[in-house]
Amino acid sequence: MRIVLGIEYDGSAFFGWQWQEGGLRTVQDAVQKAASNVANHSVTVICTGRTDTGVHALEQVVHFDTQAERSHHSWLLGINANLPDDVRVIWVQEAVGDFHARYSAIARFYRYIILNRPTRSALQRDRVTWCHQHLDAVRMHQAAQNLVGSHDFTSYRALKCQSVSPMRKMYFVEVYRQNEQVIMDISANAFLHHMVRNIAGVLMSIGTGDKPVRWAEELLASKNRQIGGVTASPHGLYLGGVFYPEKYGLAKHEIFNKLPANAQRFQHET
């Protein structure tokens, strides 16, 4: 039996998602131990996409295979009872057909939150990126539209990125202001290492007026990461959710109902 979980976590105190040698605290290790306790045997948890140190998740989707028979309610309560306070399973269901948390996904959605005010926040310090210079969200949004579509994103991936191909299809990038926050909502078929944070860094330079609007497009065309912008902090980055074909019967996170109109239209296309 294959069990599918929707998980949220605060990544502030984790060394990313993926299990690592040396006893480092990771989300995968915490979830695997909790699920194994409930299943009464060792399980391996597969995620949609690995998140880096300090990155959060509103809804990470994972699966594991088990011989144990438990009700959805028992899996939910049992796993959560064995998890630390900064990780929670928010839903459970059995996999349909050939479902695979990573390979069945057709798009990933991330949200990047920037606190844009003169002073840092005591309460949000690990959950937002801080920028004291005023950001022009309209300029940032305009620049970001040049990244939509299928492109070679070499200029926006980490130099040590191990992906075989830099080609990705960007479905939408929405940048908008909500009071003191500037928010970037972004979705693609998949993302390269540090891709979202590198895009955020470039757009922030454009938003402050340090760089022109055309800079985002010029970097894309250059296919050269070494002339790209600063990689933005991980603290403002959230894996917001995952799009799967409807045949798998996975409901989209409620956050999708709150996306700007242009982004909402994408839901119908998938």
* pLDDT given for residue 199 in this prediction: 97
The answer to whether 185 and 260 have CB atoms below 8 angstroms apart is: yes
CB distance 191 to 153 below 8 Å = no
Q: Is residue 174 one of the residues assigned to a domain? A: yes
Q: Which residues contact 211 (CB under 8 A, 6 or more apart)?
A: 202, 205, 229
Query: Based on the domain organization, do 85 and 111 belong to the same domain?
Result: no
DSSP reduced 3-state for 268: helix
> Which CATH number goes with the domain that contains 164?
3.30.70.660
Residue 250 has a pLDDT of 82
Q: Looking at the structure, do residues 64 and 10 belong to the same domain, yes or no?
A: yes
Q: Name the domain boundary from 94, 115, 148.
A: 94
Is residue 126 annotated as part of the catalytic site, yes or no?
A: no
Instruction: Please pick, among 10, 29, 52, 185, the residue that the annotation labels catalytic.
Output: 52
Q: Do 120 and 208 fall into the same domain?
A: yes
The torsion angles phi and psi of 54, rounded to 5 degrees, stand at: 85, -5
Domain count, the chain: 2
136 in the same domain as 172: yes
Is the separation of the CB atoms in 165 and 156 below 8 Å? no
Residue 72 and residue 192 in one domain: no
Q: What is the CATH number of the domain that holds 42?
A: 3.30.70.580
Residue 60, domain member (yes or no): yes
Say what the pLDDT of residue 268 is.
46
Question: In this predicted structure, what is the pLDDT of residue 144?
Answer: 97
**pLDDT of amino acid 90:** 95
Domain membership of residue 175 as a residue range: 107-244+264-269
**Confidence (pLDDT) at 159:** 85
Tell me the DSSP string of 27-49: HHHHHHHHHHHHHTS----EESS
pLDDT computed for residue 254 by the predictor: 61
Which residues have a Cβ under 8 Å from the Cβ of 75 and sit 6 or more positions away? 3, 5, 35, 38, 89, 92
Same domain, 112 and 231: yes
pLDDT confidence of residue 260:
57
- How far is residue 144's CA from residue 58's CA, in Å, rounded to a whole number? 23
State the Cα–Cα distance between residues 155 and 195, nearest whole angstrom: 9
Low-confidence ranges of the chain (pLDDT < 70): 251-270
Is residue 214 a part of any domain in this protein?
yes
Co-location of 142 and 64 in the same domain: no
